[in-house]
Amino acid sequence: MAGARFLSAILIARLLGPEGYGIFQFALTTSIIAATLADFGFGIANNYLASHFPHVRPKLLSNALIFVGGSGTIIALLSGVVVTVFKNRAFSELPEAYLWLIPLSIPIQAVQISLIGLIYGASRFREKVIGTSLHYALFLSTTTALAFLETLTTNSLMVLWIAGLSISSIYWIGILLRGDSAGLQWDKASLKEQFSYARNAYIYNAAHMLNFRLDMFLVAYFLEAEDVGWYALATSITEALLYLPKALSNVVLTETATELQNGIKSNHHLVYKGIILIIGAAIMVTAILAPLLLPLVFSSSFIPAIAPLLLLLPGTLAMALGIIAAYHLFGMGKAFQPSLAALVATIITVILDLLLIPLLGIQGAALASTLAYVAFLTMCLYFVLAESEANVKSLLIPTRQDMAMLFLVIKKVWPYGRHAQA
């Protein structure tokens, strides 16, 4: 997925420039924020409940399709009004077609978030990879074809993105229904359980997504479309480093929930230390190579993206660990604590963005995000340590034995796809 997005970003950036890239990324940001609000935390709730109670998965799927699909449609209508007002007041470069393309993507994106939770809860990690690959392979191949034909536009990008979302969602629905003779089953009792768990998870999801994405709106409000493009590229590169932690986080949630059901209490210490070693090394490589390669790959018009990229890197490591810690807590059935941490981090982001963006531009947005990510990690780790038998040293400080164990795990997993589903 990271590779497909990276290649797509190169094509879009080179052909449409910082402004076109910024417009497309603004549209994606709007869609994912609205979709996350429409999901109401069902994605995380579905992961937890599907792990705990496999027999109710068809009911969880039915409830998610009906409820999240309906809420996504309502929020899509509201978002159409918001995007129109924002375009008229602060982002006039946004194409007219996006006033309906963005709302169209929202219910599809919202349903997909819930579906992914069920896919993870059912331990169908291979199918998650296949569905995501369908989405990104379609987007990359069609984007490449339009670029070759010299007909690539910002409007066509959003249409292709929506098509990819739809195909992957249909695939996952088929996977979840396969082999189930009962089919879709609306169930009030299961819906009540979903709402009960999703209530606090929703706060986490909404706050976490706003923490990641709201700065794009503020950059667009205070600055120009090309600034959005530069900042979007910087955040896209750093977020690519988070694909491994995000994949591991859902596995940690599923495994923690399953282990607790069987009376096992695990602290996943090797996961935390592995993230420090792997993501830490990736960040150092990125810091060294980005100033040299970014202008060559994306063109010299994206040189202003280098400074915010470097400022975001320390926060990226903090967020990588924070994501693992948050989902570790979700697996323990503790939804309030990570939600509180995400909410506090979002408040910090907004306050610092309002102060720093007018003064420092996109560098101010990057600095605000890094400080907020560190605050998020600090709170999540505090709660994990309070709920588990681990301490800071055992959880975060790699030893020679840990490094040897991690090396053996990677060596064993790498050649065999069946071991590497996460």
Say what angle helices 243-261 and 269-298 make with each other, to 10 degrees. 160
**By three-state DSSP, how is residue 86 classified?**
helix
Of 158-162, 165-169, 238-242, 365-369, least confident by mean pLDDT is 238-242
Q: In a 3-state reduction of DSSP, which class is residue 9?
A: helix
Amino acid identity of residue 249, one-letter, is S
Kind and range of the H or E run holding 51: helix 42-52
pLDDT of residue 265: 64
Q: 28-31 long-range contacts, Cβ below 8 Å, gap at least 24?
A: 28/161, 29/213, 29/216, 29/217, 29/232, 30/79, 30/83, 30/102, 30/217, 31/102, 31/105, 31/106, 31/109
Give CA–CA dist 119/197, Å, rounded.
Answer: 17
Minimal CA–CA distance to 43: which of 260, 209, 258? 209
What was the pLDDT predicted at 419? Answer: 44
Question: Against a cut of 0.85, is the pTM above it?
Answer: no
Confidence of residue 231 (pLDDT cuts 50, 70, 90): very high
**Please, which pLDDT band fits residue 264 given cuts at 50, 70 and 90?**
low
Residue the block writes with tokens 């069987």: 262
Residue ranges making up the domain that contains 14: 2-419
Average pLDDT over residues 114-118: 91
Question: Per-residue pLDDT averaged across 277-303, rounded?
Answer: 92
Number of domains in the chain: 1
Backbone torsions φ then ψ of 263, nearest 5 degrees: 80, 20
**Closest by alpha carbon to 325, among 264, 275, 258, 259?**
275
Q: Residue 206 and residue 246: Cα distance in Å, rounded?
A: 16
Q: Is the CB of residue 65 less than 8 Å from the CB of residue 184?
A: yes
Q: For residue 412, give the amino acid letter.
A: K
Buried b (16+ CB within 10 A) or exposed e, 65-83: bebbeebbeebbeebbeeb
Q: Which SS3 state, helix, strand or coil, does residue 28 take? A: helix
Mean pLDDT of the chain: 86
Which one, of 128, 120, 105, 114, lies nearest residue 41 by Cα? Answer: 114
Contacting residues for 268 by C-beta, under 8 A, at least 6 apart: 252, 255, 256, 324, 328
User: Residue 241 belongs to what H/E stretch?
Assistant: none
What is the distance between the alpha carbons of residues 372 and 358, in angstroms, rounded to a whole number?
18
Residue 144 has pLDDT above 70, yes or no: yes
User: CA–CA separation, 293 vs 316, rounded Å?
Assistant: 20
Whether the per-residue pLDDT at 313 is higher than 60: the answer is yes
Mean pLDDT of 12-40: 90
Whether the Cβ atoms of residue 136 and residue 80 lie closer than 8 Å to each other: no
Contact in structure between 221 and 299 (CB atoms under 8 Å): no
Half-sphere exposure of 334 (CA within 13 A, CB side): 19
Residues 6+ apart with CB under 8 A from 222: 357, 358
Give residue 312's pLDDT band: very low, low, confident or very high (50, 70, 90).
very high
